[in-house]
Amino acid sequence: MRRPARLAVVTAATTTAVGLAVPAAFSAPATGTPAGTPTVDPMQHIAALQQIADDNGGNRAALSPGSRATAAYIKQQLSDAGWEVSTQSFPFLSGTEENIFAERKGTTGDVVMLGGHYDSVPEGPGMSDNATGVAGLLAAAAATADAQPRNTIRLAFWGGEERGMKGSNYYVDTMSAADRATFKGYLNFDGIAAPNPGYYVYEDNKNGEQINADISKWYADRGIQTEQAFLGVQSDHGPFYTKGLTTTGIISGYLGNKTEAQAQKWGGTAGAPFDPCYHQACDTKDNISPETLKLNTQLITSLITDYGAKDFSAA
């Protein structure tokens, strides 16, 4: 996530909830799970990505060994979950970086994308920003390993986001006319489990309003009050947004302090930052909310299932 001037809070919706109940569905598989078994527990992905940063100089920044190891881990997990994996190289500074895609083909030709960036800033391991998005997407990919969607689901893991959305810009700039014709939306997951979490849905893109409403309803059905946030082009939805393509996403807060009213409805600490370690060395595996990560992994899993089945011709 790029550092904007200020996070704009637009409106508030209904219901209250403190003390989130985490569904049993996400109980971690027994330790010693045989290699090759995709895991539905996002916390296991967080542990693996932290270890990668620890083994590679403390970060997973673009063009670094930590980024390469992260890319290899993502590809392995996706192919273990039976998804069709491909990559797209793009020029980056003096070298090249890569975007990673995982696809589950449908029969309608319509394509729905869900994604997040896998690089960190050079200053730290990037667990809240954005191992949480990667872990949620990988766990959801494993949880939907047997899905036979009507529409094609394409998961995207972007490189070079912290240096200006390089990967997602390259993808959008190189979309063919056929890609645009079948494109139904891109959902962004960047910073989805801050340690003092909030529940925001992007309020950027008029085209994304239906998806926004579906996401807000999903939370409301679980007693969680969301707020809408305007992020402009501060993450990988930006290139889609700039080209007028349907896009939206969620974020659990990254700048500024949680207000008293927000602490009332979301729990956590009022007057404290959502993410005190944003873009710092202390953005480690202890700098996330495991409960919020598991809940948002459930959201991503539901979106893959629901948008995989959606009849866009009726929309």
**Positions that interact with Zn ion (CB under 5 A):** 1, 129-130, 190
* Catalytic residue (choose from 97, 98, 161, 227): 161
Closer of 98 and 190 to Zn ion (Cβ):
190
Least distance CB 93 / Zn ion (angstroms) = 19
Residues 6+ away with beta carbon under 8 Å from 35: none
Closer of 1 and 153 to Zn ion (Cβ):
1
Least distance CB 257 / Zn ion (angstroms) = 19
CB 147 within 8 A of CB 106: no
Beta strand 183-189 with 247-251: parallel, antiparallel or unpaired?
Answer: parallel
Give the separation between CA 96 and CA 250, rounded to whole angstroms.
29
* Catalytic residue status for 291: no
Closer of 81 and 194 to Zn ion (Cβ):
194
Least distance CB 116 / Zn ion (angstroms) = 8
Least distance CB 312 / Zn ion (angstroms) = 29
Helix (H, G, I), strand (E, B) or coil at 313: coil
Place of tokens 């979490």: 197
Beta strand 111-117 with 95-104: parallel, antiparallel or unpaired?
Answer: unpaired
Q: Where are the alpha helices (DSSP H) in the chain?
A: 42-55, 65-80, 132-143, 166-173, 177-182, 209-220, 238-242, 260-266, 290-309
Residue whose CB is nearest to Zn ion in the complex, by number: 1
Closer of 129 and 275 to Zn ion (Cβ):
129
Residues with a known catalytic role: 161
